[in-house]
Amino acid sequence: MADNFIGIDLGGTNIKIGCFDTQLKMLKKTSITTDACLGPQAVVEKMIAAIGGLVKESGFDLSCISAAGIGAPGPADYKAGIIINSANIPTFKNVHIRQMLSDELRCPVVFDNDANVACWGEYVLGAGKGIKDMVFFTLGTGIGGGIVSEGKLLRGSDGNAAELGHIIVQTNGRLCNCGQRGCAEAYASASATAKRATEAIEAGDKSSLKTVLEKNGQITCKDVYDHLAKGDKLAKKITDETAEVLAVLCVNMLHCTEPERFVFAGGMIAAGEVLLDRIKYYFKQHIWKIKPEDSVEICFATLGEDAGIIGAAALAKSSPENR
Amino acid sequence: MADNFIGIDLGGTNIKIGCFDTQLKMLKKTSITTDACLGPQAVVEKMIAAIGGLVKESGFDLSCISAAGIGAPGPADYKAGIIINSANIPTFKNVHIRQMLSDELRCPVVFDNDANVACWGEYVLGAGKGIKDMVFFTLGTGIGGGIVSEGKLLRGSDGNAAELGHIIVQTNGRLCNCGQRGCAEAYASASATAKRATEAIEAGDKSSLKTVLEKNGQITCKDVYDHLAKGDKLAKKITDETAEVLAVLCVNMLHCTEPERFVFAGGMIAAGEVLLDRIKYYFKQHIWKIKPEDSVEICFATLGEDAGIIGAAALAKSSPENR
């Protein structure tokens, strides 16, 4: 009887689940609403029911699952398998998620940070294939990160390494949601990008985005890139500022773990080549001249929204020292 | 016949060499001038002669050496064992230092960045004992760095990881000697600290350091800390700025590799507790409030100037995957 691996991506709004074969080929996937208000026990029951359905659709039953992996937003005690106090899933407090799933599924369960899991998915099957050292950023409401060093996820002393959005690039700069000042996330996340555009218009900058703000009451990051494509000058300035901060993040990480490749993922990469080109441009501006700047690649992720479930399943399948 | 390990710390001015027993107990040490002007071949010959003398004084001969380690400033191709173009040892260009030493000593030779080697010394026998994850900074003319992750030195894809002084903490800030702007080193190295004090006095700030500048034509970092001890207000302000940048470096590295302990080394730690206390103070100011800030330690190195030779010998003795 063939073995299966399950990958779970637990978010504040949705739970994505995938069923994979031993070669990490995706057999089936699904997405259910999280409904965190029901409380952790009910959410886990929903998850198990969805996994049961998915495995059945794939032609197997629950006893065929070799291992499962789950990614969830931090901060959490990943070593102990506990979601302590997630900002995105507020009803989950001190939830022993790994043990709960393991008891229900009767198989080993790997639990890790959602960005680490997506990073691992890209490393194994996406933009990181064929290298040993990679740094990964997800650009969404916040900026998540992942580090692969010598072919292994770098987790840190307590499992909370690679919180790369909270690297300070401007000491005493903009206030970040995390409480620090000057974090990369406070400038260059999708939300921060939209916020800077809104602030500029409110301060009197001329832009075609002004009508969007008046009509919708807000500007999104997508609006910024839409108006960039139409040639709006403010959108260009805002995009450049975002790209510069992301480039400085790359410089900092090059001096820290020295990856061969930087991989950007998340909703914001929909902006396309125009964003990637500006990140590369500013990287060349900021990096020292001692080492040729083209010895490191900067590219976009390739797995899209499936990176989380693929990475979770790949972690479940990986060798014990990488779980 | 007992085995020996040799540790070498190759600097622009001096070469320190130590002879160690199998328990890494130092038997003898010496220091010779580098005299880089003589060229690499002559420098290596001097080194071998000094090692021969050291081993003999320890009661052995060259055939008793199990392995040797050497630390040298970057940038270099540490994987290939080549000093490419060292700023501190200008006559060393494309010098196959590892092979040259190995041929002469007839034993395996480990070659690494001088800060990595000192970091490893502190990790094995100094301030890093008993932990798995550590970040190390040397505060001198520049700021060097070392990262231990899960009990191993983190070297990066090309052996040039942990150039932590060149993490940008102020985008588009002060020009650094490396060509980047806003590096931590441009603010908080011993030289940068002295330079900021000089600039402040030249700009008209009142300070007891002014007489030092007038008398000696320059201010050193030691002068700043001497006058801090005497209650000079400018020295206090300069010290605070240095400590704040070092604290932001710690915040950034906590979010990157999440060490259990930060260890500061180098000439500047002679400033003592007053500097350490201010680094800890600013760390609490800048770190996010999600995690208790006392879950990470910040301390000074304990091995002093011997960290390099101890670390080089310890690397020579360590398991192959850590060489």
Q: What is the pLDDT of residues B32-86, one digit of tens each?
A: 999 999 999 999 999 999 999 999 999 888 889 999 999 998 778 888 999 988 7
Least CB-CB distance to B166: which of A171, A179, A255? A255
Q: Which residues pair with B300 in a beta bridge?
A: B264
Contacts of A176 (CB under 8 A, 6+ apart): A166, A182, A183, A185, A186, B288
% of chain B exceeding 90 in pLDDT: 85
CA B66-B115-B165 angle, 5° bins: 165
Least CB-CB distance to B167: which of A161, A245, A256? A256
Q: How far apart are CA A186 and CA B171, in angstroms?
A: 14
Q: Residues B10, B51: contact at Cβ < 8 Å? A: no
With CA atoms as reference, report the closest residue to A144 among A198, A88, A99: A88
Mean pLDDT of A121-132: 97
Would you call B133 and A156 a contact, using CB atoms and an 8 Å cutoff? yes
Lookup: tokens for B11: 């600097």
Complex prediction ipTM:
0.94
Does A128 reach chain B within 8 Å, measured CB to CB? no
With CA atoms as reference, report the closest residue to B155 among B110, B111, B116, B97: B116
Q: Residues A137, A143: contact at Cβ < 8 Å? A: yes
Lookup: tokens for A173: 């700069």
| pLDDT at residue B206 greater than cutoff 80 | yes
Predicted pLDDT of residue B291:
62
The answer to whether the predicted template modeling score (pTM) of the entire model surpasses 0.80 is: yes
With CA atoms as reference, report the closest residue to B250 among B219, B300, B286: B286
Does A158 reach chain B within 8 Å, measured CB to CB? yes
Least CB-CB distance to B75: which of A157, A178, A291? A291
| For B181, nearest residue in chain A (alpha carbons) | A286
Lookup: tokens for B124: 């094995």
Read off the pLDDT of residues B254-310 as tens digits, 9 standing for 90 and up. 999 999 999 999 999 999 999 999 999 999 999 987 666 567 999 999 999 999 999
Q: How far apart are CA B323 and CA B312, in angstroms?
A: 10
**Nearest CA of chain A to the CA of B251: how many Å?**
7
Q: How far apart are CA A254 and CA A191, in angstroms?
A: 25
Pick among B77, B93, B153, B252 to test the A interface (most A CBs inside 10 A): B252
Could you report how far apart the first and last alpha carbons of chain A are, in Å? 24
Read off the pLDDT of residues A268-290 as tens digits, 9 standing for 90 and up. 999 999 999 999 999 999 998 76
Could you report how far apart the first and last alpha carbons of chain B are, in Å? 24
Read off the pLDDT of residues A148-158 as tens digits, 9 standing for 90 and up. 999 999 999 98
**Neighbouring C-beta atoms of residue B304, cutoff 10 Å:** 11
Read off the pLDDT of residues B159-181 as tens digits, 9 standing for 90 and up. 889 999 999 999 999 999 889 99
Provide Rg for chain B, Cα atoms: 20
Pick among B282, B288, B323 to test the A interface (most A CBs inside 10 A): B288
Would you call A257 and B147 a contact, using CB atoms and an 8 Å cutoff? yes
A60 DSSP assignment = -
Read off the pLDDT of residues B73-97 as tens digits, 9 standing for 90 and up. 877 888 899 998 877 788 899 999 9
Q: How far apart are CA A51 and CA A32, in angstroms?
A: 11
Q: Residues B82, B74: contact at Cβ < 8 Å? A: no
